[in-house]
Copies of this chain bind each other. A is one copy, B any other.
Amino acid sequence: MTHSAPQPPVCVLGLGLIGGSLLRSLHDGGRRVFGYNRSAETVSAAGADGYDASTDLVATLSRAAQESALIVLATPATTIDAILDQIATYAPNCPLTDVVSVKQQVADQVYAHGLSENFVGGHPMAGSAESGWQATDPGLFTGAVWVVATDDGADPQVWRAVAQLALDTGARVIPAASDEHDRAVAGISHLPHLTAAVTAVVGAGEGELALRLAAGSFRDGTRVAGTAPHLQQAMLEANSTALLAALGETIDRLTFARDQLRDAGTVETLVADGFRARKHYEKIHAATDEPAISVEPGSTGWEAAFRNAARTGAVWTG
């Protein structure tokens, strides 16, 4: 079992909410980990809290190359290309992963930089409306889902290293193909940002009195609309193809509901469908006995076997 071998050090590029929380989680759990961030303020805050961080990207990548560290791309999606340029120059042979919320676009960018061989993408499904070092939390990933990209031809050793990284943070590892991941998150993560936004706008448009009357349904239903707009835009726009399909279906269903309410005085169809969907979600999340995937990474056809196992509720436990 390779996962009993000593784990490589980890190099986290970008110390925002996700990258910073990852640095803290791994460090506090006893793994060797160092980080880079563009902002001196963030690096100095991290240093003051006892973490190993630098504002020097070239020095950080050279150190990663020397120590054969697992590099984690955790900078905003818009900076990925520039960072990949530097990785291709200073640390081209390091195993590489990322925590960006879309997977196909990053995989394409990595391919364009000739770095696909050592790359296995990842996406921890954790976050909050907060951002910055102050919001980082070493417990952010505990119990959260961490998708590890499981595309055909993935390097099994890199896959293992990335999955172990996720396990070390306390996350549950779910394998999925990059494009399948992107379609899924368009529906369950990106669309909810737009429905939260429109709910907030229409509600606030009713005036001050309406906002004073707002209770739980408005509070919870609009929460993620309070996320920093540039973060929301970067995330949603990087997944525009899948999001367009989800948004089109949303408009169709709301239009049907509007017509049914106008013509028949009822919202029965949408309310009944929504109730069923929510109960199905609650049932899936109440399940606590996730089986472990028993196939070994690298065996014949393991990528498809992993993806199928994940679709039926299994997780990778190392």
A120 / chain B contacts, CB cutoff of 8 Å:
none
Partner of A203, one of B191, B200, B209: B191
Question: Which residues of B sit under 8 angstroms from A265, Cβ to Cβ?
Answer: 237, 240
Write out the residue numbers on chain B whose beta carbons fall within 8 Å of the beta carbon of A193: 217, 271, 274
Complex interface: stretch among A6-14, A70-78, A306-314: A306-314
Least Cβ–Cβ distance between A312 and chain B, in angstroms:
7
A220 touches B218 (CB 8 A): no
Interface string of A207-250 (1 = CB under 8 A from B): 11111111111111111111111001100110010011011111
In the complex, are the beta carbons of B201 and A274 less than 8 A apart? yes
Hey, which chain B residues are within 8 Å of A295, CB to CB? none
Partner of A200, one of B205, B206, B225, B281: B281
Cα–Cα, bound, A269→B240 (Å): 15
Per-position binary interface string of chain A over residues 291-318, scored 1 when its CB falls under 8 Å from any chain B CB and 0 otherwise? 0000000000000000000111100000
**A174 adjacent to chain B (CB < 8 Å):** yes
Contact B216 A224 (CB under 8 A): yes
In the assembled complex, which residues on chain B have CB atoms less than 8 Å from the CB atom of A276? 204
A240 with B212: in contact, given A195-B198, A195-B221, A206-B184 (CB under 8 Å)? no
Contact B195 A211 (CB under 8 A): no
| B244 A208 Cβ-Cβ under 8 A | no
Given A202-B253, A310-B209, is A217 in contact with B236 using a C-beta cutoff of 8 Å? Answer: no
Of the candidates B201, B227, B255, the one whose C-beta lies within 8 Å of that of A253 is B201
Is A138's CB within 8 Å of the partner chain B?
no
The answer, yes or no, to whether A88 is at the interface (CB within 8 Å) is no
Q: Which of A176, A202, A205 has the most CB of B within 10 A?
A: A202
Give the chain B neighbours of A221 by CB distance below 8 A: 192, 195-196, 220-221, 223-224
Most B-side CB within 10 Å, residue of A147, A205, A250, A266: A250
Q: In the assembled complex, how far is the CB of residue A269 from the closest CB belonging to chain B, in whole angstroms?
A: 10
The count of identical subunits is: 2
A236: chain B residues within 8 A (beta carbon) = 261, 267, 271
Q: A215-B125, A253-B201, A262-B244 are in contact. Are A271 and B233 (CB under 8 A)?
A: yes
Q: Does A57 contact B (CB under 8 A)?
A: no
A92 located at the interface, meaning its Cβ lies under 8 Å from any Cβ of chain B in the complex: no
Distance of A20 from chain B, by nearest CB (Å): 18
Q: In the complex, are the beta carbons of B145 and A194 less than 8 A apart?
A: no
Q: Which residues from 259 to 290 on chain A have a C-beta closer than 8 Å to any C-beta of chain B?
A: 261-262, 265-268, 270-282, 284-285
Q: Does A187 contact B (CB under 8 A)?
A: yes
Q: How far is the CB of A309 from chain B (nearest CB, A)?
A: 11
Cross-chain contact A218 with B184 (CB below 8 angstroms): no
Q: Roughly how many angstroms separate A208 CA and B188 CA in the complex, as a whole number?
A: 11
* For the complex of A and B, 5 pairs with smallest distance between CB atoms: A197-B274, A184-B210, A204-B277, A200-B277, A187-B206
Residues of A within 8 A of B (CB): 125-128, 144-145, 147, 174, 176, 180-181, 183-189, 191-229, 232-233, 236-237, 240, 243-244, 246-251, 253-255, 257-258, 261-262, 265-268, 270-282, 284-285, 310-313
